[in-house]
Structure 1
């Protein structure tokens, strides 16, 4: 039994058919040869795109010369109404300044301090879970959003503003198409962007709610009674180069991406992890046995004993990387594998294809958490495992996610057993993240 994988399109299709397929799902719009190719070129009337699976090229773009390959403006078109000028979409000096302010909040010592909030969110997720047939994606979205609100603003998701942000964000996801026309056409900056009125209104509502939270926190900081959480840390951190702190609008931008990245990606990974554990009961039992040591209220040190659970989460990120593709743009002419790449081309790095590459990984489509304890597995990870990107632009919350994911998995599996339902095999699709086309349905029972 092999974990679900989306179908691939034929090698040659018309541009218009490709656009239709792309709008429905990025993954099934790609040909099967990408699982073996080191590089592939795609031509459109407006630009050329180069998908790079060669680990040497991936290192060049992400690690060795990241300033020469800034994030593409095209990829952020659909997210602009919500994210503004957050660290996810900026480049150059603006991005470096933002990271200098944000990164200290996610250092190792801070993870220990935020851990009790993660535990409280995990306990709440366990309490909400009930036996019966359930769709896992909404449950995991709820749990991941709860983690974000507790660690960022010291409030549970039941808080009125937190609950409304969560509801509005789900509406935004439903309204936002994966393909914005401006991502494919070379439109000038003054040309109106193709966002529906409803999308813009929902984004404005989310940003308004976030502004309420940040303004309240600013008053608490000024009064000397602010909780010592991530929002307080970020708002009080000055850029060591300029001495400046985030302005109120900038903080709204950053909180928007924290919520998007920290909630949407974690929910995707957790949902697929539970499905994989349901597919492989013997693996699930090993996680449950390891989780017994956690207890009802685990301490941070207990996370070191969840070695196998951590490998299960890693293997989930390999098979179902929440962000399946990243797009960069080369700022000068390049030569990739003997092929000239003109300035301004789209350089696509695909964790989805890299993590399943047939020339790199042994049994690339198989679910095998034990591969992470082999030398071959570790070597592949060094060459071709980038669920959080890599280099200077590596996700600032990567360490956070690698604590949150195993913790929630262990606490859920410690109390519940998850089983697949015949006839309910999910089909992976990629929109904002990799999700299941018709949901992840499992049977939940008390262990």
Structure 2
């Protein structure tokens, strides 16, 4: 089964033509040869970029020597309006300090402790679909993912109006802000203005205003001794073991904005594409429903998630085909040699979960939707070489564990309750701005499942 992917551009295009295409959509701006290349070089008048698909190369950059390949300042320029200097975009000592404060919140039994919040959000998502109908599922999954974040971070279920505001603010932000803004193509000093669009700055301010109000309210609750024991409280009360300092309000807003992007936008994208993929296969939906009936029962506990094997494989296959973050961009801090080519300091190094997940040398039938591959030795070997939807190494997403509980659980509960059918004439076309979404949304016909 071959789900849609964006058309590849012509092999020959001018530099400025490529920049224009890239700003419109990252995925369709790239030529088809990148799905089979071990490495590709792209030159502009201002910098050189290398896409590295060879496993030994991307593992060198991401896993083995991350300190020599910090996050690209060119990419950071595009993300700063909403994410500030959070752990997602910082480097060096700043990044190490932030991880020392954040990581304890995700260690030990925190995921198990947060499971009731994830389950409550999943149940609410099921109930909001009611009797189904023709529905744009990206917005519904965005509501569900935002609800998970609100409950896990701040112990608050998200209201419909508030969830809609968050969703539309992020979508508006994506529409105005590509992964790399124009300033990212130019050799500008740090202090120089970034040329963000007025609409980009407006949507960023709206997102940060919402998060700031929540953060300030939680700080007051901590001071009064009335704060719940959730992720926000844990992070805000954790001191850096080296300096004894905690996050101030602005720093915490930066981190929460990142959690929204990493845990709300990305989870919503992955879930929406997963629902579209199962809509193409009624027999798979029936199997998912049967598994959910057998595993979840009336009151599922945390251990039930590990028994949702089919749901987990389906979700992983969706992540392979539609990784929410299509590109991880680093910068060479010193001279390197990649496949016999000299890489100068300042060169941009791109590791692409999108291209790795569909690479012809790494996967059998790479464009096909085939959840069964995850139970084969060949599929597991391919995953070790080309499956990094949450990045990898020291900078791997701290919320990856949350995603792999939230995604299969919500999928199983939805498949247990509903059937999904594609809408004729509404083929979703993947595009990438901050995350991989469908150009005109993902529309499905949803109906209550008839009990077996």
TM class by shorter chain equals: over 0.9
CA distance in 2, matches of 1:375, 1:151: 35
CA distance in 2, matches of 1:323, 1:150: 23
CA-based RMSD of the aligned residues comes to 1.5
> What is aligned with 1:119?
119
Query: CA offset at residue 190 of structure 1?
Result: 2.6
Structure 2 contact 324–436 (Cα < 8 Å) conserved: yes
Structure 1 contact 7–28 (Cα < 8 Å) conserved: yes
Structure 1 contact 161–209 (Cα < 8 Å) conserved: no
Q: 1:108 to 1:384 in 2, by over 3 A?
A: farther
Query: CA offset at residue 299 of structure 1?
Result: 1.1
275-284 or 151-160, which moves further after superposition? 151-160
> What is aligned with 1:435?
437
CA distance in 2, matches of 1:340, 1:124: 54
CA distance in 2, matches of 1:320, 1:116: 28
Structure 1 contact 119–297 (Cα < 8 Å) conserved: no
> What is aligned with 1:82?
82
Does the residue aligned with 1:41 lie in a helix, a strand or coil?
A: strand
> What is aligned with 2:416?
414
Query: CA offset at residue 179 of structure 1?
Result: 4.2
TM-score of the pair, normalised by structure 1: 0.97
CA distance in 2, matches of 1:428, 1:205: 26
- How do 1:16-165 and structure 2 match up within 5 A? 16-129=16-129, 130-158=131-159, 164-165=165-166
Q: Where does structure 2 lack aligned partners over 5 or more consecutive residues?
A: none
101-110 or 226-235, which moves further after superposition? 101-110
> What is aligned with 1:337?
339
Structure 1 contact 106–400 (Cα < 8 Å) conserved: no
Q: How many residues align?
A: 447
Does the residue aligned with 1:409 lie in a helix, a strand or coil?
A: helix
Does the residue aligned with 2:445 lie in a helix, a strand or coil?
A: strand
Cα displacement string for residues 43-91 of structure 1 (whole angstroms, at most 9, x for unaligned residues): 1111100000000001100111000000001012222111111001100
CA distance in 2, matches of 1:395, 1:278: 29
Q: 1:95 to 1:178 in 2, by over 3 A?
A: closer
Structure 2 contact 208–253 (Cα < 8 Å) conserved: yes
Cα displacement string for residues 205-263 of structure 1 (whole angstroms, at most 9, x for unaligned residues): 32222122111111211222111111011111111222221111110110111111110
> What is aligned with 2:405?
403
187-196 or 160-169, which moves further after superposition? 160-169
Q: 1:237 to 1:127 in 2, by over 3 A?
A: same
- How do 1:13-412 and structure 2 match up within 5 A? 13-129=13-129, 130-158=131-159, 164-292=165-293, 293-412=295-414
Query: CA offset at residue 169 of structure 1?
Result: 3.2
Query: CA offset at residue 343 of structure 1?
Result: 1.0
